[in-house]
Amino acid sequence: MNTVFFKYLGLVDFKETWDYQESLLNSIVEVKRKNRLSKEVPVKTKNYLLFCQHSHVYTLGKSGDEKNLLLNKESLDKSGSRFYKINRGGDITYHGPGQLVVYPIFDLDNFFTDIHKYLRCLEEVVILVLKKYGISGSRLDGATGVWICDKSGERKICAMGVRASRWVTMHGLAFNFSVDLNRFQAIVPCGIVDKSVTSLDQELGRNISFEDIFSDFKDCFSEVFQIKLEPLI
């Protein structure tokens, strides 16, 4: 069983967290580089799980279309939001308070070297969290993330986008628990025009505490990835 060091970073600026992820990824990649060159017993690489909420920000993945941001610079500034083009997969999404963002910095050599399986595992974590609240989460073909599908339509509750370098991951998932859904009206979420966005509060008709969501995600990550979580000091 792999040990993973976790930390809740609080409400933080996106760029600050992006840089932190990069530094952790680079430190793991450097250990792997030294292991390849050394004749000694390989040093085991570390794995990290970062949790946070972000100040208002829109991010565009490397395969995204900037036209899916419906605000001009003036409107963006008035909304108190920032905009970044970043190095993950996927299109455009929004991050803000009331959304739990999870960044696994995993060396997949410690788990399995299969990005598609990794994404399905991330989805499974969210599906298990939703199950705790009596909600059935779904996958849609060709649309990474977790959806709620019923006679009312298809609604995205969790967006995902990742990057991997030498099998070390960064970026991750964004789960809407009590986020301001009006903020998504400024974008075409994930570049998908015929589907909507939802939150856990919206689906349940009541508020769920952050502490409960945080605990649920830790439990479900531990179950799906078969990991032991330890606080990152």
CA atoms of 213 and 233, how far apart (whole Å)? 22
Cα-only R_g, the chain: 18
| Degrees, nearest 5: CA angle 186-9-117 | 75
Distance CA(177)–CA(121), nearest Å, equals 20
Q: Which residue has the tokens 């920000």?
A: 57
Sign, Cα dihedral of 41, 36, 224, 55: positive
| 187 contacts 92 by C-beta, under 8 angstroms | yes
DSSP 8-state assignment for residue 66: G
Token match 């589907």: residue? 195
Cα–Cα distance for residue pair 143/129, rounded to 1 Å: 19
**Catalytic (active-site) positions:** 190
